[in-house]
């Protein structure tokens, strides 16, 4: 592991290096890590900013959307001046302004059944900040097939959820929790039901924290647990999740072996 930090890097990361659980070795792990952020919206904004600030060496950002005025109530990586700019480019600009030492790869296009596994395989870990079930299931399936840890969060109105999926290490996958996408129109999206902007910030920041813990190998993983936050009641609950032996993605008789089922349904990476 390369522990050769410049004086500026030592100063930049000094509050990390002071932590016994991080130290120089942990900071070197962060520098060597490659994380893919899917969706540069309300969750992806704090994710991209905190991962860059933390010194995660390579950060990929996938989003095929452009910044709109209605995004700015919660998507804090973007600015009024960047309305109309590709969200992946805008988020990269914000992250690099905080930390020019990290590398940001931007993918200003749609994640599809054709490109998902290739893209995900280039990274160690994936975090999902999208707002539509087609993309969520595509990311979850691609991560399980490519054996990549997925740190997933979702928000709606005043509620947030978070879990980490590592079926390749024996934990449950996303489909153990949600076997199939709900029929269209049953579960509203944020663009239909609304979301308090700060709720996305909290959940994206929790997601960034879990990503950093997974890279550092410290603390208790959220694999096998689902965090549910009710912001109106200010109540956090943790629910145990177990692998489903009948799961079509990670069970012993799994039927999902590739992404062919997504070939026609992959929608845009529409971030929260
Ligand atoms: Zn499963």
In tens, the pLDDT along 125-156 reads 999 999 888 999 999 999 999 999 999 999 99
What are the pLDDT digits (tens) for 83-110? 999 999 999 999 999 999 999 999 999 9
- Give distance in angstroms: CA of 149 to centre of ligand 1: 13
Q: How far, in Å, is the centroid of ligand 1 from the Cα of 18?
A: 38
Residue 165 to residue 173: CA distance in whole angstroms: 5
Distance 204 CA to ligand 1 centre (A): 24
Residue 228 Cα to ligand 1 midpoint, Å, equals: 20
Task: Tell me the pLDDT tens digit for each residue of 193-217.
Answer: 899 999 999 999 999 999 999 999 9
Whether 267 has a pLDDT exceeding 60, the answer reads no
In the chain, where does DSSP find H-type helix? 7-12, 14-17, 23-32, 44-54, 87-98, 116-121, 133-145, 174-177, 190-193, 197-216
Distance of CA 269 to CAs 98, 99, 139, 158, 197, Å? 25, 25, 10, 22, 19
CA of 9 to the centre of ligand 1 (A): 40
Q: How far is the CA of 234 from the centre of ligand 1 (A)?
A: 30
Q: How far is the CA of 109 from the centre of ligand 1 (A)?
A: 28
Residues 6+ apart with CB under 8 A from 32: 1, 2, 57
Q: Give the Å distance between the CA of 72 and the centre of ligand 1.
A: 35
Dihedral sign computed on CA atoms, order 102, 36, 78, 194: negative
Ligand 1 centre distance from Cα of residue 154 (Å) = 18
Q: How many angstroms is it from 133 CA to the middle of ligand 1?
A: 16
């Amino acid at each position: 592991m390369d522990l050769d930090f410049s004086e500026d890097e030592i100063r930049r990361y000094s509050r990390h290096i002071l932590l016994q659980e991080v130290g120089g070795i942990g900071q070197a792990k962060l520098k060597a890590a490659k994380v893919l952020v899917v969706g540069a919206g309300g969750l992806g904004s704090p994710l991209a900013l905190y991962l860059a600030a933390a010194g995660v060496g390579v950060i990929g950002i996938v989003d095929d959307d452009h910044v709109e005025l209605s995004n700015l109530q919660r998507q804090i990586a973007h600015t009024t001046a960047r309305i109309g700019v590709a969200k992946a480019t805008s988020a990269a600009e914000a992250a690099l302004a905080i930390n020019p030492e990290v590398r940001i790869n931007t993918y200003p296009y749609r994640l599809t059944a054709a490109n998902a596994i290739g893209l995900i395989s280039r990274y160690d870990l994936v975090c999902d900040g999208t707002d539509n079930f087609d993309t969520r299931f595509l990311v979850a399936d691609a991560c399980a097939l490519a054996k990549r840890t997925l740190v997933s969060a979702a928000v709606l109105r005043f509620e947030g959820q978070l879990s980490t999926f590592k079926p390749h290490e024996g934990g449950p996958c996303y489909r153990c929790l949600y076997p199939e996408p709900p029929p269209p129109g049953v579960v509203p999206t944020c663009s239909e039901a609304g979301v308090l902007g700060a709720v996305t910030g909290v959940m994206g920041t929790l997601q960034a924290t879990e990503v950093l813990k997974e890279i550092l190998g410290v603390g208790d993983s959220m694999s096998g647990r689902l965090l549910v936050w009710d912001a109106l009641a200010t109540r956090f609950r943790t629910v145990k999740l177990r692998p489903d032996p009948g799961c079509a993605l990670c069970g012993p008789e799994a039927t999902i072996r590739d992404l062919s089922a997504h070939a026609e349904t992959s929608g845009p990476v529409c971030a929260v």
